[in-house]
Chains A and B, each alone.
Chain A
Amino acid sequence: MTLTMTPTVDAGGPATDIRRADPTGGEPDPRASAQTTRIHSVEGVEVGPRRRVRSARLDDRFNVLGAAAAGIAVAVLLFGWFTPLSGGVGWVLVAFVAFLGFYALLVSLSSDWQEVKDRVMAVMLTSAGVILFGSLVFVVAFTITRGQEALPHLNFFTQSMELAGPLDGLDLGGIAHAILGTLMQITMALIVTVPLGIVTALFLNEVGGPFARFVRTISDAMTALPSIVAGLFVYSAIIVLITHQRSGFAASMAITVMMLPIVIRASDIVLRLVPGNLREAAYALGSTRWRTVWHVVLPTARPGLATAVILGTARGIGETSPVLLTSGVTAVVNLNPFEGPMISLPLQVFDFVKSPEPTMIARGFGAAAVLLLLVLALFYIARVIGGRGPGELSRRQQLRVIAASARDHQRITVRSARGRAAGPPESSSPLASPPAASSPSASAQKETSS
C-alpha cells in the first residue's frame, strides 16, 4: 500500500473511529501541509485530573437513605399494627409509595418545585429499571434454584424417561431424549434458515429493486405471525396432508417458519450498517458485485451476522408452541427426524409440569434450567462474537491499529527529517506495509486513515 496523504473529507463512521484510534490525535490540514505531514506534538501539554461532573451530593444520598428508611418503617407499621394488610407484594408497594412521598418531602426542604420533580422522576426511572432487571434476575434465579433438585443427578442428563414412571424418584430417568431432540431440531432449522436468511438479507441490501422491497415487506409482516399459528400451519399442511405423523422434521419446519423472519431482519440491519465507502472502494478497484459481497461486505458484517444467527437460534430453541403442535410427546430417544415423535426441551418442560407429582415438577424445573443455561450460553457467545457494530474494532484490533499508526508516525517523522536534510525521499520503506491486518475492515480502515 503506498501512502499518499489524501485528506478524508468524509464525515462518516469509520473516519471518526480512526481519529479516536489514532494516539496522536493529529488531523491533517489539506492546505497547510502540501509537502510534509506535520503531527501536532502533545509533549509539554499538561492534562489535569478529570473532574467528576455527575457525582451526587452528600445530602442527596442522605435524602435517599432517609426516605427509604421512613418508607420501610411506614410499611411495617401499616402491615404489622394498624391495618389488616398482608402479602409481600403489597408490602413492597406500600413501602415504595411511602418512600416516594418522603423523598419528595425531603428534597422540597432544600429545593424548588422543578428540582423536586426532577429528583422524583429520576427515582421513578431508576425503580422501573430495578423492577425490570430484578424480575429478570428473579425469573432466572427462581428457575435455576428450583432446578437444583434434579440437576445434581447425573442420570438426568444421560437417561431418557423411557423406564421412569411418574412416581419414580429423581435417580431414575432424565432428559437426554429432549436434549438430543432439541439439538436435532434446531440443527435442521438452522440448515434451512442460515443460508436462506442471510442470502435473502443480501438480496435486500446488495441487489435491491422493487422485488426486494416486496420481500422486505413480506418478511416484516411475517415477524407478526403468532408462533402458535406457525405451528398450526405446519400441523395442517405437513402433518395432516403429507406425513400423517408428528415428527422432528415437522417441528424443525415450524421453528424455521418462526426463525426465518427474525434472522432476515437482524441480518438486514447488520448489512445496512456496513459503511458505504468500503463498498465503493471495492467497486472503485474494479471488483464485481459478487467479489465485493464476498470479500468486503460479508467479512465486515461477520460478527453481526453471527450475532443475528445466534440470537435467532436462542429464540428458536425456546419456542414451545409451534413444537407443541408438531413434534409430539415421547419418552424415548428418537434419532430419526422423519419417523415418530421427537420431543424437545421446552415441550418436555411443559409436559413435566402438567403432572401433579412433585418429582415430575422437579424434573420440569431441571429441564427448564438446562434450557435457560443453553440460551444464556448462546447469548453469551453472541455477545463475545458480535457485541460490536460492523467496522468497530475489538480491543486487540484497536491496539494493532494504534501500533501501526505509531509506526507510521515514526516513519513519517524520520522521513520528513531525512527529506529536509537530503532532498526528495526514496520509495516507501518496508514499514509501510499494513501489520498483520487480518480483518479486511481493519485494513480498509487503515486505508482511509493513511
Chain B
Amino acid sequence: MSITTLPSPRPGISPDGVEAPADQDAPRRSLDSRPSGSDTVFRSVAFGSGAITVAIMLAVGVFLSIRASDALGVAGLSFLTEQEWSPESKTFGIASVLFGTITIALIAMCVAVPLALGTALLISEVAVGRMRATLVTLVDLMAAVPSVVFGLWGVFFLQANVIPVATWISTYFGWIPFFRVTDATGNALTEASAFTSSAFIAGIVVGLMVVPTQTSVMREAFSQAPVGEREAAFALGSTRWGMIRAVVLPFGRGGIIGGTMLGLGRALGETIAVYMIISPIFTINWEVLKTGTNSVSALIALRYGESSAFGLSALMAAGLVLFLITLVINFSASSIVARSRSGAESS
C-alpha cells in the first residue's frame, strides 16, 4: 500500500483562513486535516449517490401522493369505507380490498409464525455444525424463490389438495363465524367449487413466502442470547426447552415481534401469487374459506390497464394507502427490534 503524506497546514493559519495572533512564540497548530484531492472527489461522489438514492425514493413517495390526491379529493373519507370500485362513476373505495388484504395477511401469519418460530429455534438451539449452516442456506434460498413459482404451486397443486381440509374445517368448526361457508340464503355449502380461490388458500401460499424473512430475523435474535444465561439455566437443572423458555424466548422477544411484523409487511404487499389464486370480488367476505376475496395489489394488477387518468389516480391512492400501512409496520418492526435487548448490540 502506498502512503500518501498529507500536506500539513501552514502554521499560524486556522482552517478558515483567519490569521492567528502571532504574538505567541509557539503558534497553535490546527489539528484539522485538509482533505486531499482524491478525498474531496470521493466524498462528493458518495454524497451525490446518496442524494440520487434519496431523490429516487422521495420521487416515488411524492409522485404517488400528488397523483393520488386527485382521487382522494373526490372520494374523501368514503375512500376508506366504500366497497365498490368504479372510478368512472366516482364511487370507489378500498374497504373490501383492504379487508381482503388484511384477511390474507392474517391467515398468512397464522401459517408463517409457528413455522418461522419453530425453524428459528431449530436452527439456533437444536441443529449443530454443518446441519445449522445448511438450514440457514436453505432459508435464504427460500427467500429467493420467485413469487410466481409459489403462485404456480398454489394454483396447480395446493388448491386441489387443500379443499378437503377446508371442507372439513367448515363442517366441524362452522359454528365459528369465520369458518362458515354459506350461500346467499344462509345454507351451508359443501361442494368443492365453493372452496376454490379463497383467502385461505392465498393465505397459506403467502405464509410460506414470508416464513424466510421472519425466520432470519428471529434466528438472529435467538442466536445472540447470552451464553452465560443459557449455562446458568442448564446449571440450575433446566431441560433444553426449559432453557429456551426461560432465556432464549424472553431475550428474543423483540426479534419475534419484529420478525413477525416484517413478514406481515411483506404479506400485505404480495401481488402475483395472490392474483393468480384468488377470484376477485368487491364485497367484504367474512367467510375466509369461501371463494372470492381481493387485495389492494391484486386490484392494481387487475385494473391498471383499463384505467383512465382518473382511474389511475384512484389506483395510486389505493397503492399509497398500502404503502403507508407497510411503511408503518416496517418502521415499528425495526424500532422494536432495535430497542429490544437482542437488537441492542446488533446494529
Chain A CB within 10 A, most for which of B127, B215, B297:
B297
Contacts of A417 in B (CB 8 A): none
User: How many Å lie between the Cα of A387 and that of B334 in the bound state?
Assistant: 25
Give the residue of A118, A204, A236 whose beta carbon is less than 8 angstroms from that of B241.
A118
- Report if A228-B152 is in contact (Cβ < 8 Å); known contacts: A90-B164, A129-B135, A196-B49: no
- In the complex, whether B342 has a CB less than 8 A from a CB of chain A is no
- Verify A212–B50 contact, CB threshold 8 A: yes
- In the complex, whether B175 has a CB less than 8 A from a CB of chain A is no
- Verify A54–B122 contact, CB threshold 8 A: no
- Report if A293-B1 is in contact (Cβ < 8 Å); known contacts: A222-B60, A232-B304, A233-B64: no
- Verify B239–A89 contact, CB threshold 8 A: no
- Verify A288–B6 contact, CB threshold 8 A: yes
- Verify B4–A229 contact, CB threshold 8 A: no
Least CB distance, A273 to chain B, in whole angstroms = 11
User: How many Å lie between the Cα of A86 and that of B192 in the bound state?
Assistant: 13
Chain B CB within 10 A, most for which of A131, A139, A293, A311:
A139
User: How many Å lie between the Cα of A383 and that of B119 in the bound state?
Assistant: 21
Chain A CB within 10 A, most for which of B3, B5, B300, B312:
B300
Closest-by-CB residue of A relative to B240 is A118
Least CB distance, B8 to chain A, in whole angstroms = 12
Contacts of A90 in B (CB 8 A): 164-165, 168
Contacts of A215 in B (CB 8 A): 50, 53-54
Contacts of B138 in A (CB 8 A): 133, 136
Closest-by-CB residue of B relative to A313 is B144
- Verify B43–A207 contact, CB threshold 8 A: yes
- Report if A226-B271 is in contact (Cβ < 8 Å); known contacts: A232-B304, A236-B312: yes
Least CB distance, A204 to chain B, in whole angstroms = 7
- In the complex, whether B75 has a CB less than 8 A from a CB of chain A is no
Contacts of A296 in B (CB 8 A): 1
- Verify A129–B152 contact, CB threshold 8 A: no
Give the residue of A231, A261, A293 whose beta carbon is less than 8 angstroms from that of B42.
A293
- Verify B53–A219 contact, CB threshold 8 A: yes
A158-208 with Cβ < 8 A to chain B: 195-197, 199-200, 202-204, 206-207
- Verify B153–A125 contact, CB threshold 8 A: no
User: How many Å lie between the Cα of A219 and that of B125 in the bound state?
Assistant: 33
- Report if A320-B147 is in contact (Cβ < 8 Å); known contacts: A125-B126, A224-B326: yes
Taking chain B's interface residues, is the majority helix, strand, or loop, or is none over half, making it mixed?
A: helix
Least CB distance, A324 to chain B, in whole angstroms = 6
- Report if A379-B144 is in contact (Cβ < 8 Å); known contacts: A117-B239, A232-B300: yes
Chain A CB within 10 A, most for which of B146, B319, B334:
B146
Give the residue of A196, A237, A261, A314 whose beta carbon is less than 8 angstroms from that of B52.
A196
Least CB distance, A281 to chain B, in whole angstroms = 10
Least CB distance, B292 to chain A, in whole angstroms = 19
- Report if A291-B1 is in contact (Cβ < 8 Å); known contacts: A87-B165, A236-B67, A324-B301: yes
User: How many Å lie between the Cα of A222 and that of B4 in the bound state?
Assistant: 39
User: How many Å lie between the Cα of A201 and that of B3 in the bound state?
Assistant: 25
User: How many Å lie between the Cα of A178 and that of B211 in the bound state?
Assistant: 29
Closest-by-CB residue of B relative to A374 is B146
Q: How many residues of A contact B (CB 8 A)?
A: 108
Least CB distance, A346 to chain B, in whole angstroms = 5
- Verify B323–A87 contact, CB threshold 8 A: no
Least CB distance, B140 to chain A, in whole angstroms = 8
Q: Which of B89-97, B110-118, B179-187 contacts A (4 or more CB under 8 A)?
A: B110-118
Give the residue of A146, A207, A295, A368 whose beta carbon is less than 8 angstroms from that of B1.
A295
Contacts of A69 in B (CB 8 A): none
Least CB distance, A243 to chain B, in whole angstroms = 16
- Verify B41–A226 contact, CB threshold 8 A: no
Q: Mark A112-125, 1 if CB is under 8 A from B, else 0.
A: 00110110011011
User: How many Å lie between the Cα of A147 and that of B119 in the bound state?
Assistant: 30
Least CB distance, B306 to chain A, in whole angstroms = 13
- In the complex, whether B104 has a CB less than 8 A from a CB of chain A is no
User: How many Å lie between the Cα of A79 and that of B123 in the bound state?
Assistant: 34
User: How many Å lie between the Cα of A187 and that of B141 in the bound state?
Assistant: 22
Q: Mark B311-326, 1 if CB is under 8 A from A, else 0.
A: 0100110011011001
User: How many Å lie between the Cα of A222 and that of B140 in the bound state?
Assistant: 21
Chain A CB within 10 A, most for which of B6, B56, B164, B244:
B56
Q: How many residues of B contact A (CB 8 A)?
A: 102
Contacts of B6 in A (CB 8 A): 286, 288
- Verify A372–B149 contact, CB threshold 8 A: yes
Q: Mark A295-325, 1 if CB is under 8 A from B, else 0.
A: 1100000000000000100110111110011
A103-153 with Cβ < 8 A to chain B: 114-115, 117-118, 121-122, 124-129, 131-133, 135-136, 138-140, 142-143, 146
- In the complex, whether B188 has a CB less than 8 A from a CB of chain A is no
User: How many Å lie between the Cα of A423 and that of B165 in the bound state?
Assistant: 87
- In the complex, whether B150 has a CB less than 8 A from a CB of chain A is yes
User: How many Å lie between the Cα of A199 and that of B3 in the bound state?
Assistant: 24
- Verify A124–B268 contact, CB threshold 8 A: no
User: How many Å lie between the Cα of A221 and that of B53 in the bound state?
Assistant: 12
- In the complex, whether B63 has a CB less than 8 A from a CB of chain A is yes
User: How many Å lie between the Cα of A215 and that of B51 in the bound state?
Assistant: 8
- In the complex, whether A290 has a CB less than 8 A from a CB of chain B is yes
- Verify B164–A226 contact, CB threshold 8 A: no
- Verify A320–B148 contact, CB threshold 8 A: yes
Least CB distance, A424 to chain B, in whole angstroms = 30
- Verify A211–B164 contact, CB threshold 8 A: no
Contacts of A287 in B (CB 8 A): 1, 3-4
Contacts of B156 in A (CB 8 A): 142, 146, 353, 361
User: How many Å lie between the Cα of A323 and that of B64 in the bound state?
Assistant: 18
Chain A CB within 10 A, most for which of B63, B117, B145, B329:
B145
User: How many Å lie between the Cα of A286 and that of B39 in the bound state?
Assistant: 13
User: How many Å lie between the Cα of A86 and that of B42 in the bound state?
Assistant: 67
Q: Mark B27-62, 1 if CB is under 8 A from A, else 0.
A: 000000001101101110111011011101111100
- Verify B161–A126 contact, CB threshold 8 A: no
- Verify A199–B46 contact, CB threshold 8 A: yes
- In the complex, whether B13 has a CB less than 8 A from a CB of chain A is no
11 more A-B residue pairs beyond the given contacts A132-B119, A211-B47, A379-B140, with a C-beta to C-beta distance below 8 A: A85-B168, A93-B165, A114-B239, A132-B115, A140-B149, A226-B269, A228-B301, A233-B63, A236-B316, A290-B36, A320-B146
27 contacts between A and B (CB under 8 A): A89-B164, A117-B241, A117-B242, A118-B242, A128-B117, A129-B122, A139-B208, A203-B46, A224-B323, A225-B323, A226-B271, A229-B269, A229-B323, A231-B300, A233-B60, A236-B67, A236-B316, A286-B5, A290-B36, A311-B144, A318-B148, A320-B146, A346-B148, A350-B148, A350-B276, A371-B148, A372-B146
Q: Interface on A for B, CB 8 Å cutoff?
A: 54, 85-90, 93, 114-115, 117-118, 121-122, 124-129, 131-133, 135-136, 138-140, 142-143, 146, 195-197, 199-200, 202-204, 206-207, 211-212, 214-215, 218-233, 235-237, 240, 257, 260-261, 264, 272, 282, 285-291, 293, 295-296, 311, 314-315, 317-321, 324-325, 346, 349-350, 353, 361, 364-365, 368, 371-372, 375-376, 378-379, 383, 387, 440
